[in-house]
Amino acid sequence: MTNITVLISGSGSNLQALLDAQKTGNLGQGTITQVISSSATAYGLTRAAKAGVPTRVHALKEYYKGIPKEETEKRKQQRDKFNRDLAEILVHGLNRPDLVVCAGWMLILSPAVLEPLEQANIGIINLHPALPGAFDGTHAIERAWQAGQDGIISKGGVMIHRVIAAVDQGAPILVCELDLKKDESLESYEARVHDTEHAAIVKGTRLALAEIEKAEKTEKTEKTEKALESKKVAGNPGNAASTSQDQPASQASDASDTREDSRTVSQGDVLLELAAEVAKLGV
Ligand code: GRF
């Protein structure tokens, strides 16, 4: 099972797509074990509660309480504390994830969040309603639509990408292109974007999960190979003698086991020892 924490800020329709996928067995090994919202009024919290997923609110406005906008330095300090506390929740919280999915999370995640996640080997991906390098940041859907109406571009789209400090510029995992249609209304284009997002968030999360599972399998294989290698080396006759002489009694049994292994490994040695025994008997 691969634990997923979903970060949201609003209606949570992309969270709903993930919850539905999990319910129908279409999220692979992924299990959504926590939803964190940057807003206490996000409808996504209701969606999570209905699905029985633990939720918590981590609201920046709670950190800014009582600090006027003009006090920028104090707000900056509080923003940094907000990020560090979020990292603490993710890395050391009850529902520690293997993967964090930003599904409509509207706040920039600073290195104060990303570095502890990387050190803890927790992946983080984001849904962004634009093509790589096209419209980073907010209002991407409207900006892409307008550029299409102005004839500047002919393609919009949606991507799932790795999260790095540079906003919406992490390596894409999944890119879904959409044609921009002349004279199409913004509402019509936005509806196509959201439909595409709901499929992309599931597919992109599954791709990220597959990468985690592949990395885990590789790690297990490497550990097994190292263990076999060290057993083989320990089983070498020259090493077995030194092992039994050097090890305390409690580990001698290991050495004798190892010696047994070495005898099965070098039958020649066994025959030499038997010949010596026979010679002693004068037979
Ligand atoms: C999505 O369009 C997403 O691309 C953008 O915010 C919206 C979130 O929608 N960042 P929801 O909260 O998942 O319904």
| pLDDT tens profile 161-181 | 999 999 999 999 999 999 999
pLDDT value at residue 221: 87
Is residue 245's pLDDT more than 70? no
Q: Name the closest-CA residue to atom 11, ligand 1.
A: 12
Percent of the chain with pLDDT over 90: 75
Nearest Cα neighbor of 47 from 68, 71, 22, 25 is 22
pLDDT averaged over the chain? 88
Residues, the chain: 283
Is residue 281's pLDDT more than 80? no
Nearest Cα neighbor of 29 from 223, 221, 172, 205 is 205
Instruction: State which ligand 1 atom lies nearest to the alpha carbon of 42.
Output: 12
Alpha-carbon torsion angle 212, 215, 219, 220, nearest 10: 60
Indicate the angle between helix axes 72-92 and 111-119, nearest 10 degrees.
20
Q: Which strands, in side-by-side order, build the sheet including 172-179?
A: 55-57, 30-37, 2-8, 99-102, 123-128, 155-162, 172-179
φ, ψ dihedrals at 101, nearest 5°: -115, 115
Q: Catalytic: which of 58, 92, 128, 139?
A: 128
Retrieve residue 133's tokens. Answer: 């390098």
Query: Alpha-carbon distance 98 to 36, whole Å?
Result: 15
pLDDT value at residue 258: 40
Query: Alpha-carbon distance 196 to 190, whole Å?
Result: 10
Distances (CA, A) of 40 to 11, 15, 18, 44, 46: 11, 16, 20, 10, 10
Q: What is the pTM of this model?
A: 0.81
Is 139 an annotated catalytic residue? no
| pLDDT tens profile 113-170 | 999 999 999 999 999 999 999 999 999 999 999 999 999 999 999 999 999 999 999 9
Ligand 1 center–CA 22 separation, angstroms: 19
Query: Between residues 43 and 238, which one has the greater pLDDT?
Result: 43
Q: Name the closest-CA residue to atom 14, ligand 1.
A: 13
3-state class (DSSP) for residue 28: coil
Query: Between residues 37 and 1, which one has the greater pLDDT?
Result: 37
Query: Between residues 1 and 42, which one has the greater pLDDT?
Result: 42
Retrieve residue 162's tokens. Answer: 């790795």
3-state class (DSSP) for residue 134: coil
Residue 7, ligand 1, Cβ within 6 A: no
Ligand 1 center–CA 146 separation, angstroms: 19
Residue 197, ligand 1, Cβ within 6 A: yes
| pLDDT tens profile 5-32 | 999 999 999 999 999 999 999 999 999 9
Q: Give the pLDDT mean for 201-205.
A: 98
